[in-house]
Structure 1
């Protein structure tokens, strides 16, 4: 039996594939070296199709349902009124520099002027930047993951964020999506942070229209020596969205990477591949995640922390709160390569089920090829702690309030990792907005 899916959407993509130079809508010329990446990626996707549950990394995540309809490549650029959407998407008191994207295209006139040393490039400026040929499709290998290959093959262009100096305020990239019919919307970002840069970056995702969209977003991120970067990813997409997000981050010596991933009830299908690869000694990667799921939503978080050199640290902690008939998946892998001595790696996954119909699949993994290391992992799945609930009720709290407090306490372990008070407060408000504790009460309560 085939380990891939070759459905009507796949056939549509194969029949409608065009290189940028053959597409009349494309107004930029791709360098030959980058076109070769696109051609190789297309051949890989053409051969491998969409992954199926026969593949180990997709064992609990079935794409056959979310991709059963045909998502069209938009024939024209989408026009949307973004001013109100930007105001609604802004995070109060974050004082961030806003970078606005619509279907992956930079809306320069609606974005804020960026501080000295920060450059956001699109179109020909990104394609012909000296870092494009060096890093594009080399961090996120288009011949390793079918949906990454799909992104590489079909993106009309990509954006490049080049950070040369530390920032005094966070950068907030607002991803807006809009379509009049079911649409395939690939998006790509290449980020390079120069030596000793310190910055925070907020990624938020929003949809403006009700038509189904398939969002395929790939981020390649290279952190040079002594970089300290915090990334806060907040997914607020609605049920009409199918989301595949893949980020690949390479860390050089003495760099520190904090990635905090939040998602909420809405998008029917979310798959996050969050990978960090430590290529320089004394670097540190911290991957934190919190998801609240609802309805029949599926949220799948796959992570890789790859210790390639000695004396590096990593910490990973993902928590899930599952409501209704939702499904959660966590698959975390820690690799300690041969020669990566003095590695310190920690991984933990916890999930709480607020409904008897919710499901979670957890698979923490360690692969260690060095002997002088300190590594640990663990996973727990359970329901509300009845002893803690009883204790709070003896203090005069209603059952509803007690359950609310326990869930917020469960989430606080991850929220406390957010080194930005405005973002932490914003996420807590979203948690309270989407959490329906009443459905978790026992019958007759």
Structure 2
């Protein structure tokens, strides 16, 4: 069932004198054709250079006199670009948790609009399209059946839309303060560039994703273009090239990608000895783990959730550095990033048994239905068993608060995202590392 209607009048002339009549006709059509009474209705119009949005909006109010049922649910959005208009409306849709939208628009705008939709929205949203046919004198208006043929816009038009979106997103201000990066003194900064991100300084506005969300999926409301802009801002702050950035393709297992070889479909560890290439692992409760060998000048990153921890993804990453780059396990430095702590994280009793086998201290309240689990302690124990020196591991057992990078994500909503705390539409932070040129 349609939850909102978007009327696209953006391509109509800015000086259209009959805009009142056109809008009235559209509202009459919506009242007659829509299966639900008074849905949310959004109208996008081109803003004239130098005009005031409020005065333009108020100039339309007389046209709404006969539509009191819609008046409180109707918003007219003037903007200089389609991107700005759609992004403004998207924020209002997200605030109302609306996902099913009907777009009524001129026939020639449909294919271009689909490009905007593909970039600015995710699969969470469902769109229906109806063609708005406007005669040259703009007095006649009718809804036409959707066209059966699908036509792709010319490549040049797509590139212009992509450029428009990129420029608009780059113009948006940081949210929740400046971008902050946590760094460990264990990793030498004369050889490696590294850090763990927090949630501030990006442009993601949805509360559970705000503001420096660094992962997009079909199940979330943050599109790839927003995540890419957040990454660009991170890269500028940290000093790496976002075009030479590789994030693990999470599978909650223990496969490791050796950069330069065939890339697997999914993997939770990644290693490289290439300078200037930034590798990263995400985390939103799971541990982003960074590895650095200052002797052989090689590095790695791993995503270690409870499944990956039990499967030994961290030691699999270490073993890849040893076998591929000739690293000595005693030279490898390991830093565990922000992740859910034993204070908050619970698993069903059957899963907890596996952690209890690693060390009983990894489990608290073992006899309960959902014991508390310490995936950090389990990771450290497995690393030390594999030959990593205890002093070469930084985790929450390191008590120097000036160097604490292993905060509990669930305990610090101001600093970090947490799936455990925030639910399905959660954001993601990362740990990243590269070898300096």
Instruction: State the TM-score, normalized to the length of structure 1.
Output: 0.28
Instruction: State the TM-score, normalized to the length of structure 2.
Output: 0.28
Answer with 1 or 2: which has the greater Rg.
2
Larger helix proportion, structure 1 or 2?
2
Bigger relative contact order, structure 1 or 2 (CA pairs below 8 A, ≥6 apart): 2
